[in-house]
C-alpha cells in the first residue's frame, strides 16, 4: 500500500486529482533533509527545461510563465508552516516527520507535491514523492501532457537527491 493513501489529511487531494504520480525511495534522511535535498537539486539541464517551459507557458498565455527556482535551503531553514514558501511552492499542510504538502497554482492547473514518510528497514525511512494535478481547463491537460515526460525525469532526480541528503548533511556538519 502506498504511504500517501494512509495519510487522512491527503484524502481530499487524492480524490479530486486528475493525475497522481508517485516515486518511492528509501533513505536515512529526515523529512527536512529529504525535502531540502530534493528541492535543492537543480542540474543545468533542468534549469534549461524551465527556460523552455517559460516560452511554452507564454504561448499558452499562462498567468505564471516564469518559475522562480530560488536558492537551495538548508533543512533547518525550511518552514513547514502553511502559507510559507519552499522554492516556488506554498506550504499547504505538514506534520513533522510524517508529510509535507506543497502547492503551486496557475489559471490552467493546480499541482501539489506531497512528500510522505513511513518507517522502513532500520534506520531507513521510506519516502514517497507524489505529484497530484488538478486541471482547471483544457489548456491544463494539454500543458501537463506535453511536460509529463520531463516531469517524470525531474521527480526521479529529486527523489534520488532527497535520498542522498542524509549523507550530504552529515558531511556539511563534519566540515569545519
Helices 31-40 and 138-174 pack at an angle, to 10 degrees, of 110
Residue 91 pLDDT > 60, yes or no?
yes
**Tens digit of each residue's pLDDT (9 = 90 or more) over 57-80:** 777 776 665 555 666 788 999 999
Among the ranges given (1-10, 22-31, 95-104), the one the predictor scored with the smallest mean pLDDT: 1-10
Nearest residue to 91 via CA among 64, 73, 118, 65:
73
Position 130 scores a pLDDT of 96
Across the range 136-157, mean pLDDT stands at 88
Across the range 92-97, mean pLDDT stands at 95
Report the residue count for the chain.
176
CB 75 within 8 A of CB 36: yes
Q: How far apart are CA 82 and CA 79, in angstroms?
A: 8
Q: Where are the domains of the chain?
A: 3-171
Across the range 97-111, mean pLDDT stands at 92
CATH of domain 3-171: 3.30.530
**Considering the entire predicted model, what is its pTM?**
0.85
Tell which phi-psi region holds residue 120, choosing left (phi > 0), alpha (psi between -120 and 50) or beta: beta
**pLDDT band of 140, cuts 50, 70, 90:** confident
User: How many degrees, rounded to 5, is the angle at CA 136 between CA 134 and CA 141?
Assistant: 70
Residue 26 pLDDT > 80, yes or no?
yes
Within a 10 A sphere around the Cβ of 116, how many other Cβ atoms?
25
Residue 119, C-alpha cell as written in the block: 518507517
Q: How far apart are CA 21 and CA 155, in angstroms?
A: 9
> Peptide bond preceding 123: is omega within 30 degrees of 0, i.e. cis?
yes
**Tens digit of each residue's pLDDT (9 = 90 or more) over 153-162:** 989 999 999 9
Position 112 scores a pLDDT of 96
Residue 49 pLDDT > 60, yes or no?
yes
CB 5 within 8 A of CB 99: no
Amino acid at each position: 500500500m502506498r504511504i500517501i493513501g494512509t495519510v487522512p489529511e491527503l484524502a481530499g487531494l487524492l480524490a479530486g486529482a486528475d493525475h497522481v504520480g508517485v516515486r518511492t525511495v528509501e533513505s536515512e534522511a529526515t523529512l527536512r533533509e529529504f525535502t531540502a535535498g530534493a528541492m535543492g537539486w537543480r542540474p543545468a539541464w533542468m534549469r534549461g527545461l524551465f527556460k523552455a517551459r517559460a516560452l511554452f507557458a507564454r504561448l499558452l498565455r499562462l498567468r505564471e510563465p516564469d518559475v522562480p527556482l530560488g536558492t537551495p535551503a538548508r533543512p533547518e531553514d525550511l518552514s513547514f508552516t502553511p502559507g510559507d514558501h519552499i522554492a516556488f511552492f506554498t506550504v499547504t499542510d505538514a506534520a513533522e516527520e510524517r508529510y509535507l504538502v506543497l502547492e503551486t497554482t496557475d489559471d490552467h492547473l493546480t499541482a501539489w507535491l506531497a512528500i510522505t514518510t513511513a518507517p522502513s528497514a532500520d534506520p531507513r525511512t521510506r519516502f514517497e514523492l507524489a505529484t497530484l494535478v488538478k486541471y482547471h481547463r483544457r489548456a491544463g491537460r494539454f500543458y501537463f501532457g506535453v511536460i509529463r515526460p520531463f516531469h517524470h525525469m525531474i521527480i526521479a532526480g529529486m527523489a534520488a537527491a532527497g535520498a542522498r541528503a542524509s549523507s550530504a548533511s552529515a558531511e556539511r556538519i563534519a566540515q569545519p
